[in-house]
A and B are shown apart, each in its own frame.
Chain A
Amino acid sequence: MAAWTAQALTMDDLIKEFLQESSENLDRLDQDFVKLEGDPSNGELLSSIFRTIHTIKGTCGFLGFTKLEALAHVGESLLSIMRAGELLLTPTIADGLLEMVDAVRMILKEIETSGAEGSAEYPELIEKLKQLQQQPKGVAAEAEKKVEPVAVAVEPSAKNEEAKAVQEDKKTKAAALRESDPPHPEPQPKPSSTGKRKKPEIIPGRIGSTLVNRGRVRPEDVVLALELQEEGDHRRLGEILVSLGLATEREIEEALAVKPVTEKQEGSIRVDVNLLEKQMNLVSELVLLRNRLLQIAADANERNLNATVHGLNYVTSELRKNVMKTRMQPVSQLFDKLPRILRDVSKDLGKKVKLETHGGETELDKTLLEAIKDPVTHILRNSIDHGIEAPEQRQKGGKPEEGTVRVRAFHEGGNFHLEIADDGAGIDRERVKQKALAKGLINAGQSEKMTESEILSLVFQPGLSTAEKVTNVSGRGVGMDVVKTNIERIGGTAKIESAKNHGTTVWLEIPLTLATIPALTVVSGKSVFAIPQAALVEMIAVDAEDSQKYIECIDGVSVFRFRGTVLPLMALREELKLKNAPPADANIVQLVVVRTEDRQIALLVDDIRNTEEIVIKPLDKRFKSIALYSGAAVLGDGRVALILDIPAFARRAGMVASQQLRPAQTAEGQRKEKLTLLLLGGPDSERMAIPLDCVQRLEEFEATAKERMGELDVVQYRNDILHLVRLQDLLQERRAARRTEEGIHPPAEQGKISAIVVRSDKSENIILQVHRILGIVKVEFEKLTPPSRAGVRGSLVVQERVTELLDLEALLAKVRKIKDTSDALVGAGSGK
């Protein structure tokens, strides 16, 4: 073979290059086929497809991948008939060809992993493709009219004769091709003789050689065109190539433009991703070194040094920006893969869906783009499967028969956003709820209290699928939860919104790059820790004297009262068992409030330093078991900081589990329940508990603050008047008789009243006056002992004491009842 540019390369390199090139080509094939289906007579598209498959086939032969070659060959044969206008792309043909593309892909994967083609031969597929070549002539005749409206002079029968001949020719050639090395395409139009002859050479410096060197055309193609010229074709080489669909006119023009200049450098080069990765790391290190140098220079205050360092500063920043840029890829790379998925899925389900993509030029870091590929694919599948209705149903609903899935990418707020919206049926919240109930993800009590968006977010829970029947597309109950975890793994968020009959939209928000993240550095003990900015809510400094007001340490579990909510508090020093840690300023308590999903926790640290851009470095697997760090980072001053894994901390606080789905409040759940309870002591030293999640605040009131209003007491609380109810009054008293003797109103309290503000979803908050607050415990139980009185869910053993778990809903219902009766009385204006 003449002028084979890759001669110098080893076989391995060739295969590697072939694999890379082919996978790109296959992706393009997917798109082209889908496009061609919409426009079957598009000759240019067909040519492009033909050329791609031909390229793959040619290289296979060269590299000795016979199975792959055989497969590509039947596909090519079929395509060449189509290209000759004998056949028109039908969905069946498209299916067959796409199947072939998939098979080729499988073989390529096999080659990539094992270096050999593997054992699969796809005889059925090959047979199927051969069958497709024998399609009824009626289709072909129709095709002729479309493709060659001018060629009326040719007798249809003659045309068919020729088509047959072409096919026959192909068969003999196919057999011959398996033996002979570099195969060449089916000559079009068919040359009269197929006998072997001396092959013409590609002359360096001519158009053919330029095209080959530029990788536009295979050397075999040029040889073929030269052969045709020798056979008497008087057109120019470029024209022949164009007419054969082996090159586009533009490519020829480009090649012609290049010709005078003997060789020109390519505008772009392929770079190994690993190399790029390494480069990125080096640049990151350079940035850190620069930061250190900047500090040193600032201290030294030397004029020359300063000037140089500033120069370095500028260059480094530019370098960093540029290296980052090389990693950025347009999201259209992902978009290009979607039409094929859409086609397959919608065809499978018998739905009509069209895809609209916007913002394909939006760029995203390569690794992130890779990471969102699967989630996005899944969301798209979901949209088609669950979202878009069947065509008849859509018509009935007054919508266009064809559904639309709109995918939009854009940058906003330094983040990458992706929006996948369908105009389908939307998510039936009621069904989601029922499903979640049936699967035991929530219980009846919770389901009533859930807000619309809370219900929707259930979709992200594992094990929930609203598909009525399991299709092979989706509905197996794995999916959206995986989407969410995958997105969160790369520091992004996933949200869903849905309007009934109007469709569903899923939003993904993803940081532009993973290379550096802003983080807050804090000090505890002697160590510096970094908290990713994304997890940060706020930093609070409290005077040590006042800290008692905000921080309560009851029973070993600390809580921090923070604007009306009670947050679990973790002292970093204690959690990590840090030694000798004198706080920087003993008069001030430093707190960092962090969040995971929706739950917040407060971290007590010794000191807060500053925010820095940090480069995340993975930690050795030997430290994995500690599970509280997500990595390490080198700070500007050269110190190493551990990055705190905030979700892990929250889990440690035992709060994440109860965060999205509040713990069950009825005893119906068979599963093990985990609860964090607020322990209360009754007047007869009996023990009671309520779930901490229902507690908004712990309060103390002066007894005198209590005012009487109707049948109920009220207190003024934060510009609001809240009902204050004694817990004992609500519970059915066991010693009712004794209480009656003492009178309906118990002796007036003196001093302070312990009270808890409880959240009620149905009405306003209510303050429960309790006898004593004992502390907070975490418990785990399977079943409760049945309750012995109303207002109690049941009892369990906590700290070796029988403890009644209060049924807050029942208690609040009781309060409402009392209130309703008293409201009637209050109408008269009774007060104390």
Chain B
Amino acid sequence: MEKVQEVLEFEEITPIPLSPAVLPGIINLRGQILTTIDLKTRLNLSSDESNGQQMMIVVRTSEGPMNLLVDKIGGVMDVDPDLFEKPTETLQPAVRSVTTHVCKLENHLLLVLDTEKVIQLPEEMSSAGAPVLAARQEKVLSH
């Protein structure tokens, strides 16, 4: 996925008062104002791993660059397309709706996200049910 424009260290996010939790605010990337989407909130995940510095991934989308706020970046890897499988039914709906493929790696599950869908926020970005996913979530930073 050549969707990633760049990866940023955590920068100061300017909060937008009255905006939902999934939109923590905007950042100034070299004079360009980017909307930030909190991926964790977007995917309805718990915030266990929030210790340590968060990272930002700027992705190219049809609406221009968008900034995704993530806990950490696993790394860049080339994945054999043969390993890709259709997302399973067992995935949480919020996650499944934005996942294009699931990839079983040796010790964990890798989800390939559809950035176009990630930036389309559902009508009600409310927290419905506690997330139960144990697998490590990563974005694939490869071709």
A and B held together in a complex:
yes
Q: Does B128 contact A (CB under 8 A)?
A: no
Interface pair B18/A619, CB less than 8 Å apart: no
A623 x B16 contact (CB < 8 A): yes
The segment from B20-28, B76-84, B96-104 that touches chain A is B20-28
Stretch in A320-328, A508-516, A624-632, A789-797 with 4+ CB within 8 Å of B: A624-632
Interface membership of chain A positions 608-649, coded 1 if the CB is closer than 8 angstroms to chain B and 0 otherwise: 000000000101101100101100101000111110000000
- Report whether B16 and A626 are in contact in the complex, using a CB–CB cutoff of 8 Å: yes
Q: Quick one: which of B12, B16, B19, B32 has the most chain A CB within 10 A? A: B16
Query: How many angstroms from the CA of A289 to the CA of B31 in the assembled complex?
Result: 8
* Structural contact, B33 and A577, CB atoms closer than 8 A: no
CB pair B31 A640 closer than 8 Å: no
Contacting pair B14 A577 (CB below 8 A)? no
Is the CB–CB distance between B19 and A639 below 8 Å?
no
Q: List the A residue with the shortest CB-CB distance to B36.
A: A620
**Which among B16, B17, B28, B31 is the interface contact of A639 at CB below 8 angstroms?**
B28
Given contacts A620-B26, A620-B35, contact A628 B15 (CB under 8 A): no
Q: B30 on the interface (CB 8 Å rule)?
A: yes
A-side contacts of B32, CB under 8 Å: 285, 617
B26 touches A639 (CB 8 A): no
Contact between B16 and A642, CB atoms less than 8 A apart: yes
**Tier of interface size on chain A:** 20 to 34
A578 to B35 alpha-carbon distance, docked (Å) = 19
B28 to chain A, nearest CB (A): 5
Q: Does B133 contact A (CB under 8 A)?
A: no
* Interface members, chain A 237-287 (any B CB < 8 Å): 281, 284-285
User: Would you call the interface of chain B mostly helix, strand, loop, or mixed?
Assistant: loop
Given contacts A620-B26, A640-B26, contact A634 B18 (CB under 8 A): no
- Is B121's CB within 8 Å of the partner chain A? yes
Contact of A640 among B19, B23, B28 (CB under 8 A): B28
Query: Which of chain A's residues have a CB closer than 8 A to the CB of B31?
Result: 281, 284-285, 288-289, 634
A527 at the interface (CB under 8 A from B): yes
Establish whether residues A578 and B33, one from each chain, have CB atoms under 8 Å apart when the complex forms: no
A639 near B14 with CB under 8 A, answer yes
**Shortest distance between the CB of B108 and any CB in chain A (Å):** 31
> Which residues 30-47 in B have Cβ within 8 Å of A in the complex?
30-33, 35
A-B contact count (CB 8 A): 58
Contact status A578-B17, CB under 8 Å: yes
**A640-B32 Cα distance, complex, nearest whole Å:** 10
* B14 adjacent to A527 (CB under 8 Å): yes
A108-165: which have CB < 8 Å to B? Answer: none
Q: Could you tell me if A629 and B30 are in contact, using CB atoms closer than 8 angstroms?
A: no
* A577-B30 contact in complex given A620-B35, A622-B23, A622-B35, C-beta closer than 8 Å: no
A632 to B121, CA, bound (A): 21
A-contacting residues, B99-130, CB 8 Å: 121
Complex contact B17–A638 (CB within 8 A)? no
Q: Point out the residue from A622, A626, A639, A641 that lies within 8 Å of B18, measured CB to CB.
A: A626
Q: Residue A576 at the B interface, CB < 8 A?
A: yes
CB distance from A157 to the nearest CB of B (A): 72
- Pick the residue among A620, A623, A626, A634 that contacts B28 (CB under 8 A): A634
From 58 to 110 in chain B, residues with beta carbon under 8 angstroms from any chain A beta carbon are: none
> In the complex, what residue of chain A is closest to B17 when comparing beta carbons?
A576
B121 vs chain A, min Cβ distance (A): 6
Bound together, the chains give a CA A198 to CA B15 distance in angstroms of 75
Residues on the B chain within 8 Å of A641, using CB: 14
Docked CA distance A619–B12 (Å): 17
Query: Do A629 and B16 have beta carbons less than 8 Å apart?
Result: yes
When distances are taken between beta carbons in the complex, the residues of chain B under 8 Å from A578 are 17
Residue in chain A with minimal CB distance to B35: A620
In the complex, what residue of chain A is closest to B31 when comparing beta carbons? A285
**Contact between chains at B33 and A527 (CB < 8 Å):** no
Contact A623 B33, beta carbon cutoff 8 Å: no
Cβ 8 A contact of B33, one of A576, A622, A632: A632
**Bound-state Cα–Cα, A616 to B133, Å:** 42
| Shortest distance from the beta carbon of A519 to any chain B beta carbon, whole Å | 15
CB-based contact A623/B19 at 8 Å: yes
Q: Which chain A residues border B23 with CB–CB below 8 Å?
A: 622-623
Closest to A618 in B: B33
CA distance A527 to B17 in the complex (A): 9
Query: Chain A's nearest CB lies how many Å from the CB of B37?
Result: 8
Closest CB in chain B relative to A341 CB, distance in Å: 38
CB atoms of A632 and B26 under 8 A apart: yes
**Nearest CB in chain A to that of B22: its residue:** A622
Expressed in whole angstroms, the minimum distance between the Cβ of B30 and any Cβ of chain A is 7
Q: Is the CB of B14 within 8 A of A640?
A: yes
Give A572's nearest chain B residue, CB to CB: B17
Please, which residues of chain B bring their CB within 8 A of the CB of A642? Answer: 14, 16-17
| Residue on B nearest A529 in the bound complex, by CB | B17
Give every chain A residue within 8 A of B28 (Cβ-Cβ). Answer: 634, 638-640
- Determine whether the beta carbon of B35 is less than 8 Å from that of A527: no
Q: Do B16 and A634 have beta carbons less than 8 Å apart?
A: no
> When chains A and B are docked, how far (Å) is the Cα of A642 from the Cα of B14?
9
CB distance from A474 to the nearest CB of B (A): 39
B33 contacts across to A, CB distance below 8 A: 617, 619, 632, 634, 640
Most chain B CB within a 10 A radius of its CB, from A619, A620, A623, A639: A620
Chain A nearest CB from B2 CB (Å) reads 23
With a cutoff of 8 Å between Cβ atoms, the chain B residues found around residue A639 in the complex are 12, 14, 28
Determine the distance from Cα of A622 to Cα of B67 in the docked complex, in whole angstroms.
13
Task: Determine the chain B residues whose CB is within 8 A of the CB of A527 once the complex forms.
Answer: 14-15, 17
B12 neighbours in A (Cβ, 8 Å): 639
What is the bound-complex CA distance between A617 and B14, given in angstroms? 14
Chain A residues with Cβ below 8 Å from B17 are 525, 527, 576-578, 626, 642
Q: Using a CB–CB distance below 8 Å, which chain B residues touch chain A?
A: 12, 14-19, 23, 26-28, 30-33, 35, 121
10 A-B pairs with CB atoms under 8 Å apart are A285-B32, A527-B15, A619-B33, A619-B35, A620-B35, A623-B19, A626-B19, A634-B31, A634-B33, A640-B28
Which residues of A approach B to under 8 Å, CB–CB? Answer: 281, 284-285, 288-289, 525-527, 576-578, 617, 619-620, 622-623, 626, 628-629, 632, 634, 638-642
Given A288-B31, A577-B18, 5 more pairs with CB closer than 8 A = A285-B32, A619-B35, A623-B23, A632-B33, A642-B16
Chain A to chain B: the 4 pairs with minimum beta-carbon distance, closest first: A285-B31, A576-B17, A620-B35, A640-B14
